[in-house]
Amino acid sequence: MPKRIRKAVLPVAGLGTRFLPATKTVPKEMLTVVDRPILQHVVDEAMAAGIEHFVFVTGRNKAVIEDHFDNAYELEDTLRRRGKTKELQALLDELPDPGACSFTRQQAPLGLGHAIWCAREIVGDEPFAVLLPDMVTMAGTAKTRCLAQCVEAYGKHGGNIIAVEEVAPEETHQYGVVSVGKDFGRDFEITSMIEKPPKGTAPSNLIISGRYVLQPEIFAILENVEKGAGGEIQLTDGMKGLAASQAFHGVRFDGRTYDCGSKIGFLTANLAFALERPELAEALRAEARKLGL
């Protein structure tokens, strides 16, 4: 029986340069998809997968993230005095349990692999989840979201799990790509992985899509990983090192991912999530028609 996944690492120390000037003072993870910060959507997904402890790897200008997961005394008091009990209750219901969030600083954005390594002392010696906060997922027909499907696959195979999705072959050079060994249908053995392969050289069109279950031995490997693609310390390079001694399985998860680190992904996520809301969908469709969509 593999050890339960209790902790999740959420790296939020990137600069979000693709969203400047919005991200000059507002962390990109706090931009909203409809009325929830991107990061709140991702924490919701982690909670639904049974995560109990959230480890945020932050950087300078990200203090607002810490405040978002705390009581907002003045606001709550004002809502209480104005009788806005529904709004107040919604805020209180969403607060993580006291002590369930930890924050550590990456100090310099040296890459995703380095950001994950910064969580080593808080995670300790147990398997953990990683959620890239700019990837927002929506459940498919299975009704469970991506991380829950990864945790389910971990229950079956143990070891390390990576969520993957299909993209057009001409897009693979922008992502981490895996190759498929023994195939079980939804999940499969990963035989190799590569970060941002040069055009035309990707081993498949299955890309690493931002949800992982990893064993704690990854930390010792990340400590010694050299800078890779883009001059950054890459998580994929660390996972390649770990794959020499441990199994990795991929999960073709049921659902959709929106890359909210890109403008198109962010705008599409707003439309998709708004269309899921009964009180917004009809009015939004009417506005879209006026725009000729």
Choose one: 9-17, 45-53, 88-96, 238-246; the region binding ligand UTP (CB under 6 A). 9-17
Nearer CB in complex with ligand UTP: 157/234: 234
Q: Is 14 in the site for ligand UTP (CB under 6 A)?
A: yes
Q: Is 57 in the site for ligand UTP (CB under 6 A)?
A: yes
Phi-psi region of 173 (alpha: psi -120 to 50; beta: other; left: phi over 0): alpha
Q: Which of residues 256-275 bind ligand UTP (CB under 6 A)?
A: 261
Instruction: For residue 130, give both structure tokens.
Output: 């990683």
Q: What is the CA radius of gyration of the chain?
A: 19
Report d(CA 49, CA 57) in Å as an integer: 20
C-alpha to C-alpha distances, 96 to 27, 53, 101, 247, nearest whole angstrom: 20, 9, 7, 33
The nearest distance, CB 232 to ligand UTP, in angstroms, is 6
160-194 burial, b at 16+ Cβ within 10 Å, e below that, comes to bbbbbbebeeeebeebbbbbbeeeeeebbbbeebb
Q: Is 110 in the site for ligand UTP (CB under 6 A)?
A: yes
The nearest distance, CB 27 to ligand UTP, in angstroms, is 8
Among 106, 172, 257, 270, indicate the residue that binds ligand UTP (CB under 6 A): 106
Nearer CB in complex with ligand UTP: 79/164: 164
Binding residues for ligand UTP (CB under 6 A): 11-18, 57, 106, 109-112, 114-115, 132-134, 261
